[in-house]
Amino acid sequence: MKQMTKKKQKGIKIRVLFVLVCLITIFVSQFIPAQLHASSMEDLYMQKRHKMVQLIEDDVRQTSRYLDTENLEPRVLDAILKVPRHQFVSPDSLEQAYQNTPLPIGYGQTISQPYIVAVMTDLLKLSDNDKVLEIGTGSGYQAAVLSELVQQVYSIEIIEPLGKLSRQRFKQMGYKNITTKIADGYYGWKEHAPFDAIIVTAASSHIPHALIEQLKPGGKMMIPVGSNFMTQQLLLISKTHNGEIQTRQILPVRFVPLTGEH
């Protein structure tokens, strides 16, 4: 009887082991292809980002007479390569995520053309320990690029649904040096001022005085100025160390208008 029991126990162990092997095989067969697929998709998106950067570099050379340079800083292009733009566009625009063009993100707003994002970022001449204010979070793409280059980004969005979506996106993607709020960016973010740099991603009819005040001496601001029905100009504003304001006109652009009651 004892021998029969041992045989039964051995048989049970073999069957259990067989079942475990089958379960592991099924799990591996499902998990590994999924991992391989995810890896291949990331490789594909990286290839698309490299191609997008090449298009940006081509556009920079073609507009060098406006920019006074034929090459952007390598660290700016590296930031563009790192940020997965496809995660900042709407599902309807996923196929166009790495085209060098603006795309709609809802609520009458757009994610800026990669070339414009790169140029505006480059002209700010950012440093690792800088604190930057962004007016117009939108989908969060520009803030994500900035976050790769500076110590802290403060970003303001006036459209509440967009502000909530971008805040959630930053959290999910692990961007810990971006702080956001839903408010009228025209008035800046006084409690965190002064800023080493300010970037405005919507066109204003004039340069908001509050933003000039919140710009640190020695700092720079990028802002498109002009109405929705006239040619807008991208301006580089520099505040000297003694507080004087210098303005340089960069190139004609097309941005959605800066909204708010002002």
Residue 113 and residue 101 in contact, taking contact as beta carbons nearer than 8 Å: yes
CA dist list (Å): 108 to 104, 159, 257: 7, 10, 10
d(CA 112, CA 109): 9
Residue 64 annotated to the active site? no
> What domains appear along the chain, each with residue ranges and CATH number?
45-253 (3.40.50.150)
Phi/psi for 105 (5° steps) reads -125, 10
- Which residue among the candidates 112, 139, 155, 204 is catalytic per the annotation? 112
Walk along the chain (262 residues) and give the pLDDT tens digit of each residue: 445 565 555 555 556 555 554 555 555 455 545 554 556 778 888 999 999 999 999 999 999 999 999 999 999 999 999 999 999 999 999 999 999 999 999 999 999 999 999 999 999 999 999 999 999 999 999 999 999 999 999 999 999 999 999 999 999 999 999 999 999 999 999 999 999 999 999 999 999 999 999 999 999 999 999 977 678 999 999 999 998 999 999 999 999 989 887 7
d(CA 62, CA 55): 11
pTM of the model: 0.84
Tokens of 64: 């060098």
